[in-house]
Structure 1
């Protein structure tokens, strides 16, 4: 399999494309997805700390031995093994960073921000979270978990006022989760 036909190439292009989509939608709607990003040590620290409960869920969910959780774990593991098969060492890091940036610019920086400007903030956060869940709906259980994660990320953004916080959480969680599933 060459680099152009590798599933990882598609993932990198897709995640990078989300950045372009977020910027384009932001431009069309008059919203800069970059406006609420402040690179500060407190934002990085909050992002790091806010990743810990999500990382703990990686261990807790399979330990619960619920059938739906075991099926979801198996599905995610198979997908990631295909995606990162024979991938170069930095691939997980780059995909994680691109996913954190692209998805958060789109779902929080453009959609959530636009929705909360026009409606009650809780409604905007919930709608953006449902759209985030729908974009990740490879199964009904994954839709629910992704929606809950979207809600968590949306609340972090709303609370902090800094889009860097959910970007850090998302990217770091993806990096930890991918390594967790690939090593199990």
Structure 2
């Protein structure tokens, strides 16, 4: 049986890795003179847009998770077999923490730093495309998973300007809530399979 970190070790590893992304975003931002949080505005409108913006992504996830076809089945099996044993030991509040940890850190790096950085030379479309090519590469599990991650990242990049004014809070909320709900689904699937 492969080594499985304890729940505490898993949470610390996730915190260290995702926290490192924030440090990376600020380090690169310092070098490029880009403040990754310059578009941060916590207001009721952005909170509502973040909540509503989660719905399309989660509906697609729920459909593809419940009725997996071809390559989606492979992705579901990977998630359940690799993440399930780790996520199932977490309380829902810890899954919420992990969702927000990923949402905050990854959005600060990809939408807070990389997208504006690429936009400097390539414009809005170039920033959206190139930052999400990187997003797809770092989420590469299978070619289909990489493609889906890139498309998800493009959606998150689009929502950065969704309210008419650039606001990083919107993609952070979408990413965090989506990850939390996906983590719950994976953990529950793993638990059901173990008790069957």
Partner of 1:151: 154
Is the aligned partner of 1:132 residue 2:135? yes
Instruction: Report the number of matched residues.
Output: 183
What CA distance in whole angstroms lies between the structure 1 residues aligned with 2:14 and 2:27?
20
Q: Quick check: 1:16–1:102 contact (8 Å CA) kept in 2?
A: yes
**What is the SS of the residue equivalent to 1:32?**
coil
Output the TM-score relative to the length of structure 1.
0.92
**What is the SS of the residue equivalent to 1:120?**
helix
Partner of 1:122: 125
Superposed, which structure 2 residues align to 1:85-124 within 5 Å? Answer: 85-124=88-127
Is the aligned partner of 1:170 residue 2:146? no
Partner of 1:18: 21
What CA distance in whole angstroms lies between the structure 2 residues aligned with 1:44 and 1:81?
29
- The CA deviation at 1:41 is 0.4
**What is the SS of the residue equivalent to 1:130?**
helix
Listed one character per residue, the Cα deviations across residues 66-93 of structure 1 (whole Å, up to 9, x for unaligned) are 1211110110112222332533553211
- What is the aligned-residue RMSD (CA, Å)? 1.7
What CA distance in whole angstroms lies between the structure 2 residues aligned with 1:85 and 1:48?
25
Structure 2 stretches lacking a partner, 5+ long: 190-196
Q: Quick check: 2:7–2:90 contact (8 Å CA) kept in 1?
A: no
Q: Quick check: 1:62–1:73 contact (8 Å CA) kept in 2?
A: yes
Is the aligned partner of 1:57 residue 2:60? yes
Q: Quick check: 1:111–1:128 contact (8 Å CA) kept in 2?
A: yes
What CA distance in whole angstroms lies between the structure 2 residues aligned with 1:112 and 1:78?
33
Is the aligned partner of 1:42 residue 2:45? yes
What CA distance in whole angstroms lies between the structure 2 residues aligned with 1:2 and 1:76?
18
Structure 1 stretches lacking a partner, 5+ long: none
1:67 to 48, 66, 70: 70
Shift in alpha-carbon separation, 1:157–1:117, aligned structure 2, 3 A:
same
Deviates more, 1:103-112 or 1:85-94: 85-94
Output the TM-score relative to the length of structure 2.
0.87
Partner of 1:81: 84
